[in-house]
Amino acid sequence: MEYDCFGDSPPLEGSPWCGELLPPALGQAFSKILCGLARPESRRGKTRNTALQDLSALLETSEFNGLFVGRDTPLRGTPEVLGQVARALEKFASPPREPDRRSDRHSEVAEKAVEVGLLFLKLLGKVEAAKNSFNCHAWKMGLHYMAGPIYIFAVTHTLVQPWTSPNSQDIAGEVLTLLLRVTECGSVAGLLHGENENEKGALNVILELLKPDLNKESWKNNPATKYVFSWTLQQVTRPWLNQYLERILPPSLLISDDYQTENKVLGVHCLHHIVLNVPAADLLQYNRAQVLYHALFNHLYTPEHLLIQAVLPCLLDLFPVLEKALHWNGDGARHSTYCDEVLQLVLTHMEPEHRLLLRRTYARNLPAFVKRLGILTVRHLKRLEQVIIGYLEVYDGPEEEARLKILETLSLLMQYTWPRISCRLVVLLKALLKLVCDVARDSSLTPEPIKNALLEAATDCMILLDHCSQGQVKDLLAKIPQSCNDSTVVNCIIRVQQASEDTPFHGT
């Protein structure tokens, strides 16, 4: 509701929270406080500080206590006024827009948050005291309008962000804890979706409050909004989330479509949570799943390892939804799937990639693609062979994450596509033997447990390769122990030979 409060004195006549709605004294006090908090920064002066002091004093007066306690019905307009005050306080403590990243502004926001948090603690304390009175309707109505802004304030300043300080985080945490206690909710999730099936939670109100700051033109005006939205979204799971799909999907897509990697990652995490917690039928309706797929697929062209790490697991969880209606009747070749399309692009990017962080990210997710496609991985066997051999040759630092994941991929690949492996025996065996020799001669800072894990995985792959080739590996390695002086390499070969003898080949 629009009102002018930029003059020298706040308007009292005709104000929606005075006159017949509230007693004149309270109406005038609330109007003065709201107008003081609403002044623009350039004209603020000491008005806002005075408004906070006035509100603190008002909370201590007997007139304010009468808003809840000892009345059969609340004063007309009181709940709405308290909601307006809570909203104004939340806006007062909000951080400046993103371009203004000066540290002094951030410390000023943290100081404001402490002041506002203490006021919210007082306000919620009044509501909690009113719960013990006979007037249940009054405090419930007031809390209904206040809970949304207070929740947004608490989440904004509880999270570790540039505009928070340890003190402001502690105060905001106390506010959230008291809010849960006053609303009789056991958790934030219960507050958002309701503690039982018949009870409506506060999520709808909170999303309505966030909506003006979550459109294309305004979502960067308040840098906290995206974090509040994302954190709130993560708290709501099945079976409640699908009720809000129309309200949470557009902002998630908007955030993920930004040019900044940080925002893209945040948006993708929101989309992933939606994929995991909304039924497939709802995602398939109106081609929502297709929209999600294309939005995620386009991110694969961005060479940012944090973004790729967020996108690939999300796509892997989206594939079952997209391919839910695809059934193979056995009367011809299976059609290419979305997973095929993504894996083809990933392999294209993996082969020439030289940046270690991206190599590790791709390698980390490759086993999941092989598991997803199963025997259909044979379509990508040639490309996978090139990637596997190339990645096994490159030292990946002390943790050797990329090579360990590539060995896991090779193991899965041989298990799923074993009839096609024997023709690649020599190439794969050379790559594995070279890896064993490199690790045995490695004098770098790689920890011994990592070296042992690499040798163990490489040896297991050679054993699998021997089974896939009907014992040919054992024959090819037979003369190496006689001419090799490295005990580590010899031990690996002996283990392959013993495993082949203990489990004769009868098919894989």
- Out of 22-31, 80-89, 334-343, least confident range: 22-31
pLDDT confidence bin for 1, thresholds 50/70/90? very low
Between 385 and 81, the more confident residue is: 385
Closest CA to 300 of 252, 343, 364: 343
Residues 459 and 465: their CA atoms lie apart, in Å, by 10
Residues 412 and 404: their CA atoms lie apart, in Å, by 13
Between 142 and 285, the more confident residue is: 285
Q: Per the structure block, which two tokens stand in for 240?
A: 């409640």
**pLDDT at residue 39 greater than cutoff 80:** no
- Calculate mean pLDDT across residues 473-496: 83
**pLDDT at residue 508 greater than cutoff 50:** no
pLDDT of residue 501: 67
- Out of 5-19, 106-120, 291-305, 481-495, least confident range: 5-19
**pLDDT at residue 10 greater than cutoff 50:** no
Share of the chain above pLDDT 70, in %: 82
**pLDDT at residue 20 greater than cutoff 90:** no
**pLDDT at residue 70 greater than cutoff 60:** no
**pLDDT at residue 245 greater than cutoff 60:** yes
Q: What is the DSSP string of 327-387?
A: ---SSSPPPP-HHHHHHHHHHHHHTT---HHHHHHHHHHHHHHHHHHGGGGGGGHHHHHHH
Handedness of CA 183, 187, 188, 189 (dihedral sign): negative
Q: Model pTM? A: 0.88
Q: What Å distances lie between residue 290 and 243, 298, 318, CA to CA?
A: 20, 12, 10
Handedness of CA 72, 77, 78, 79 (dihedral sign): positive
- Out of 1-5, 168-172, 243-247, least confident range: 1-5
- Calculate mean pLDDT across residues 338-361: 95
* Residue 473 neighbours by CB under 8 Å, 6+ apart: 425, 429, 462, 463, 465, 466, 496, 500
- Calculate mean pLDDT across residues 448-453: 92
pLDDT of residue 506: 47
pLDDT of residue 217: 87
Give residue-wise pLDDT tens across range 165-222. Answer: 999 999 999 999 999 999 888 899 999 998 876 778 899 999 999 999 898 888 888 8
Residues 78 and 339: their CA atoms lie apart, in Å, by 56
Between 501 and 473, the more confident residue is: 473
pLDDT confidence bin for 410, thresholds 50/70/90? very high
CB 61 within 8 A of CB 27: no
- Calculate mean pLDDT across residues 325-351: 81
- Out of 1-5, 174-178, 241-245, 362-366, least confident range: 1-5
- Out of 195-209, 239-253, 363-377, 378-392, least confident range: 195-209
